[in-house]
Chain A
Amino acid sequence: MERKFDEELKELSGMLMKMGSLAQTMIHKSIKSLVDRDRSLLNEVYTLEESVNVMHVEIDDFCLKLLALRQPQAGDLRMITAAIKINTDLERLGDQAVNIAQRTESLLERPAIKPLVDIPRESMIAQKMVNDSLDAFIKKDVKLAEDVLTRDDTIDDINNQVFRELLTYMMSDHTTIPIAFDLIFVSKNLERIADHATNIAEDVIFMVIGKDIRHHLAIK
């Protein structure tokens, strides 16, 4: 039996997907701006953040109404609690993109110290993680969500590598410090983006099979 409530849950999924795609666009444009040394994309990132913030509030409000009025149980209840948490992660994704955009502004004021290799690679993996976690959400795909979780270590490795490499630049030439510093922060922002994707994937697993796998704790 198709319920009126099912339409509302679909609407909620749709809102999250829309917000997710806005956050993904923000990440994409902020990184593209850095890699292409193209300042023109940065304003779009800031404009999009306003839309993401509006959706953040709208989605929480909608979830609260569904909890109060529909009194959901079982899978419906898990779906809405997952949505509330994913909503927060999506908003943070937008914040990370804004941080990258701000670092980029500073970076574009100075010449590049080296061609960017690891950061574009890190960003590719992080963006794919975000994309796949949202895909797993909409398809209720536990396997894909679990796959996202396995990629977090790669991101951590790249982030450490970026840090070590830029440290050698800073030690050999102190004038590179402000630039290297900004790049280390960008790498850290990407690492945080992957963490948010991981959170979303964990929420998807909880939503679909009711198993809380966070922090490797088996709470019954």
Chain B
Amino acid sequence: MAKKLIIEHLNAWFGNVQALKDINLDIEENGVTAVIGPSGCGKTTFVRCLNRIHEVVDNAKVNGSVLLDGENIYSNTMDPVLVRRRIGMVFQKPNPFPSMSIFENVAAGIRLNGSKKKNEIADRVEKSIKMSALWDEVKDKLYKSATALSGGQQQRLCIARTIAIEPEVILMDEPASALDPISTARIEELIQQIKERYTIVIVTHNMQQAARVSDYTGFFLLGELIEFNKTSDIFTNPKDKKTEDYITGRFG
């Protein structure tokens, strides 16, 4: 399998506090890579470095390189906006645009990225919502407010919004942690369905979720990547004692 992202010597700081220490890791194309670890281990900071949104925080700093198809997203010639279009993100709390309809939530990004034709926009909105396994639930109320949807539906709408601009990589930061078990199961199912087309990196504090959805798992602790391996190996035979202790619930 091809490497979609190659992360080399990545360090990140908040002011003087170093949040990530020399992270080296390859992300496989069309795979699901899970990032696990206790609170404060740097897992969210890590994914926020992958589409250059860590640096928008005051006093935040990054060095090292993140190669997207071999090209460093931190090089001077790279436009951060373009990086974020190619590497989309879904956040922990569903955050649909509250004043917009369901349709507009998905269409807005498409318009911002250049497409103006009405038919084309409508097609892409429908396709994205279908791919997010939300279409049957919203097809009769596309022009109602997105805030009228349940939390799980809102999150799938956010995924549709992300998919609509056709990113190559989707970062998900605890995408199901605010959802009920049924909605969580739907999101997990959705991840499995869309991974053929995208490369997915998911941060989760739910280890069972990492075990269920991912192909590779990285365990972070105190800003360091302790272990990275196939998910099936991490959960049956971790090599590092600290990984074993964490995933068997001895600390964390």
List residues of A whose CB falls within 8 A of some B CB: 1, 3, 5, 71-78, 210
With both chains docked as a complex, state the minimum distance between the C-beta of A140 and any C-beta of chain B, in angstroms.
14
With both chains docked as a complex, state the minimum distance between the C-beta of A203 and any C-beta of chain B, in angstroms.
14
In the complex, A97 Cα to B122 Cα: how many Å?
Answer: 75
Contact B249 A74 (CB under 8 A): no
Q: Which chain A positions have C-beta within 8 A of B247?
A: 73-74
In the complex, A1 Cα to B251 Cα: how many Å?
Answer: 7
Contact B249 A5 (CB under 8 A): yes
In the complex, A3 Cα to B207 Cα: how many Å?
Answer: 17
Please give me the residue from chain B that is nearest to A4 by CB atom. Answer: B249
Write 11 A-B pairs (CB below 8 A) sorted by A numbering.
A1-B250, A1-B251, A3-B249, A3-B250, A73-B207, A73-B211, A73-B247, A74-B235, A74-B236, A74-B244, A210-B237
Contact A78 B249 (CB under 8 A): no
Contact A73 B235 (CB under 8 A): yes
List residues of B whose CB falls within 8 A of some A CB: 207-208, 211, 235-238, 243-244, 247-251
Report the 7 A-B pairs with minimum CB-CB distance, sorted nearest first.
Answer: A210-B237, A73-B247, A74-B244, A73-B235, A76-B248, A1-B250, A74-B238
Q: Which chain A positions have C-beta within 8 A of B248?
A: 72-76
* Dominant SS among interface residues on chain B: helix
In the complex, A210 Cα to B236 Cα: how many Å?
Answer: 8
Q: Which chain A positions have C-beta within 8 A of B208?
A: 71
With both chains docked as a complex, state the minimum distance between the C-beta of B181 and any C-beta of chain A, in angstroms.
14
In the complex, A3 Cα to B251 Cα: how many Å?
Answer: 10
Please give me the residue from chain B that is nearest to A206 by CB atom. Answer: B237
In the complex, A75 Cα to B247 Cα: how many Å?
Answer: 10
Q: Which chain B positions have C-beta within 8 A of A72?
A: 248
In the complex, A210 Cα to B208 Cα: how many Å?
Answer: 20
Contact A74 B237 (CB under 8 A): yes
With both chains docked as a complex, state the minimum distance between the C-beta of B227 and any C-beta of chain A, in angstroms.
11
Contact B236 A77 (CB under 8 A): yes
Please give me the residue from chain B that is nearest to A72 by CB atom. Answer: B248
Q: Which chain B positions have C-beta within 8 A of A1?
A: 250-251
In the complex, A76 Cα to B248 Cα: how many Å?
Answer: 7
Contact B249 A77 (CB under 8 A): no
With both chains docked as a complex, state the minimum distance between the C-beta of B208 and any C-beta of chain A, in angstroms.
6
Q: Which chain A positions have C-beta within 8 A of B244?
A: 74-75
In the complex, A198 Cα to B152 Cα: how many Å?
Answer: 52
With both chains docked as a complex, state the minimum distance between the C-beta of A77 and any C-beta of chain B, in angstroms.
6
In the complex, A118 Cα to B211 Cα: how many Å?
Answer: 52
Q: Which chain B positions have C-beta within 8 A of A5?
A: 249
In the complex, A207 Cα to B207 Cα: how many Å?
Answer: 21
With both chains docked as a complex, state the minimum distance between the C-beta of A182 and any C-beta of chain B, in angstroms.
45
In the complex, A115 Cα to B238 Cα: how many Å?
Answer: 54
With both chains docked as a complex, state the minimum distance between the C-beta of B134 and any C-beta of chain A, in angstroms.
29
Contacts beyond the supplied A3-B249, A75-B244, A76-B248: 18 A-B pairs with Cβ under 8 Å: A1-B250, A1-B251, A3-B250, A5-B249, A72-B248, A73-B207, A73-B235, A73-B247, A74-B237, A74-B243, A74-B244, A74-B247, A74-B248, A77-B235, A77-B236, A78-B236, A78-B237, A210-B237
With both chains docked as a complex, state the minimum distance between the C-beta of A3 and any C-beta of chain B, in angstroms.
6
Please give me the residue from chain A that is nearest to B235 by CB atom. Answer: A73
In this complex, the member of A5, A74, A210 whose beta carbon has the largest number of chain B beta carbons within 10 angstroms is A74
With both chains docked as a complex, state the minimum distance between the C-beta of A219 and any C-beta of chain B, in angstroms.
12
With both chains docked as a complex, state the minimum distance between the C-beta of A150 and any C-beta of chain B, in angstroms.
25
With both chains docked as a complex, state the minimum distance between the C-beta of A67 and any C-beta of chain B, in angstroms.
13
In the complex, A3 Cα to B245 Cα: how many Å?
Answer: 11
Q: Which chain B positions have C-beta within 8 A of A78?
A: 236-237
